[in-house]
Structures are given as structure tokens and as C-alpha cells.
Chains A and B, each alone.
Chain A
Amino acid sequence: MSATPLERMERHRAWAFVLPALLWTAAFFLVPFFYMAAISFWTRKGREIVATWTLDNYSAFFGKAHMFKGLVVSLEITAIVTVISVLLAYPLAWIIAERVPKRWQRFALIMAILPFWTSYVVRSYSWLLVLSKGGVVNQALLWTGILSEPIELSANRTGTVIGFVHFFVMLLTLTIYANLIQLSPNYRRAAADLGANAFQTFWYVILPLTLPGIMVGAFLTFVLCIGDYITPQILGGNNELVLPQIIMLQLGRRADFPMAAALSLVLMVVVSIAYVACARWLKMERT
């Protein structure tokens, strides 16, 4: 079956529309990625990259305790942040979807994600102002007499986690809300007809149906959280470094590009494993 001229013209036009995006992604995402993957198996002499193949960078990662610990710290912080964010965001999304009158829902949602549109740097810096020893939270707790001494809320893991949770509560509220409002009220009616109480309806009907929204948000949280360098840099202090900070150290102080590339690939493998684990919920569907 050969294509008619009209079909061929249509197909040419379709390719003309798609190609710019494909070429851009290929040139500035795929090519750099494969080049970086190659570099991760190379070595360096002083500040020069030498193309001799070796596994040294990877064995250094698994052999040097401070580097491997970076991955462990990253995974721990990401896990804590993801769990807390889901637990905080779900009730908010549910309240907006179920308790807020229809015409106010849009407003409530926009308010819940408004600070989303500030940059990582601005958000982290403003949390530093809030959490520092002389900051608003400590001052308020001292003033009310709850504390007698200011407590360290920044320059440690607590600061990093608070900074991350703030951002991802907004993200997860969005994805879970989008999922909740798509559910037909018939599910709830059916559950009630079958004798389920409010808790059973939620646990056995609503929660499983909103799992895709939770997983999409949790996966994005995982990816953005484990790859972020700015929030821990500003709020986390220097006592424990996450993997992205260790990657930046290789570049800055040591100019060790092959090592930085190898660490980046380790990070990508970790994200890929998370993707495979969540893949069944992450299908991109058109609505």
C-alpha cells in the first residue's frame, strides 16, 4: 500500500513540526549525556582529561567512604522528604477537593502553590532567614517562653529537610488534587451503598484510586530532591554532604571532570531504578 501524495505531504509536515524538538533534545541532551558517560571511564592528568579507558572513578566511588556516604545521605534525605511531603500534602489536597466550595477551589489551589514560582535560591535563602538562630521561628519560640535557648534549625539536616518539604508539599498538593477531582462521585456512592463507613471508603476506594497522583508526585519529588545541590548547600551546613554537593566539589576544588561524570552516572542509575519501580503509575496519558 503506497501513500497518496496528500498523505505524504501530511507526513512531511508532521516531521517538520516534531524535528526541532527532537534535534534540540538530541544535540543538547543525548550527545552531552553520552559524552559525559564516556568521560566517566576516562582519567585526568592535572587539569586535562585523558581518553584512556579505566574503571578507576567507579572503584574510587565505592572505595572512598566519604563519597559513598554522600549517596547514602542523599537517599536518606530524599526518603524522609518524600514521605513527609506526601503525608502533609494529601490532607490539604483532599480538603481543597472535598471541603472547599467549587468556585473557591481554583483560588485555594493557586494559593497553595504560589511560592512555587520563586527560584530554589530565593526559597532556600528565605528559609535561612526564618530558621537561623536569630530568625523568626527561634525568636517567636524564645519570646513565648517555649525555648530558653535558640535551637539549631538550619546548617544541619533539619534545615535541608524543611526547605525541601516546603517545595514538594506544593508539588504533591497539585498532583494529588488533580487526581482527586477526576474521581467520579459514583465510587463514593457505591461504597456507601455497600455499607462502607467514611474511613473504609477512603482506605479501600479513594486512596487506591489516587495512587497514580501520589506516585507521579512522589517520583518527581525523588528526582528533583536527590539531584538538587542548592537547598542543602544553603540550608544544610557542611557537616554532611549530599551527592550533588560532592559532584560540585570534584569540579570546583579538584577540577576532576571524570570523577564528577562518574558520580553523575551513579546518580542517574539511582533515579532510573526509582523510575522502573514507579513506571506502572507514570504513563503519560492525554486527558
Chain B
Amino acid sequence: MNNPGIRPECEELLSDLEELRIEGSSEAEVSSALTGASRQHAMHCEECRSAIEDFVATREGLAPMKKALPEAGPWFTARVMAAVKSAENEIEEKKEGVWISVRRLAPRLAAFAALLLVLGGTWAMEVRRREANLQGAQVRQAEGLFETVQTDVANDEIVAPAGEGTRP
């Protein structure tokens, strides 16, 4: 088992103990069911003898629990199968529920879709109209470049170098 705290020579006995398949729980029964080597070892090893004692003590101690375990009633299988059916129905209802809500909301969804279509269409038309206007303006501007006459700039001033105006 290779475990700290357990001597290698004791490991075989501890392993044998847990593999025992006996009904009885007395120390004599347990010891006689062990392999020869484990039995021999237990005779000289105090730790293994106390492991056998622990095994017997827990086995005897827990034995009353066997009588106290609950048993399934004759109706249990029917209860499980009814629960399975009910769970399946619930899943089906959930699936159907989605479709029912889709069908119930269909007129509203159609109206909403129509509204979206109208709004989207209007927006698309508007965008196209604006683009067309913009393009038209650009074309007009490009054509007008060659036709426009340079007008006098009202704010033009004759700037004389400093001091020139004061000369006699």
C-alpha cells in the first residue's frame, strides 16, 4: 500500500483484512480467514493484532445498522416511473410553451416587423436622397469653378512699407 505510518510488513495483513469476505465478526473467525503469512505475522506484530481488534470492533459495532436500513416500498418503482413521466411532460410543455408564446405574439411581431420595415425603408430613402443632393451640389460646384468671376476683395488695402508714406 506504500503509506506513511504503516510498516511495509504490516501492509499485506491490512490489505487482506479489507478483502475478507466472511459473514462472521468474531476475532477467531477473522484470524482464521486471513492468509497463513498474515496470520503468522499477526502473532508477532502488536500493531496488526490491534488492527484485527479494530476490524472486529467496527464490524460488531456497525452490525445493528444493517437491520435499521430502510427498504423500498412496493410502490417505489411506480413512483419513479410517474416522476419520469411528469418530468418528460414538463419538458414537453416547456418546448410547446415557447411555440405557444410565438403563436400568441405573432400579430404583434408582424406589426412590429412591418413598422421596422417602414421605418427602415424611409431611413434608406432619406439617406439616398441626401446622397443624391450632395452629389448634385458637388457637381454644380465643380462646374462653377471655371465660370465664377474674381471679384474685388472689399477689404484689400494697399500696404506701404513703413515710413514710405511720410517721405516728402
Q: Do A and B bind each other?
A: no
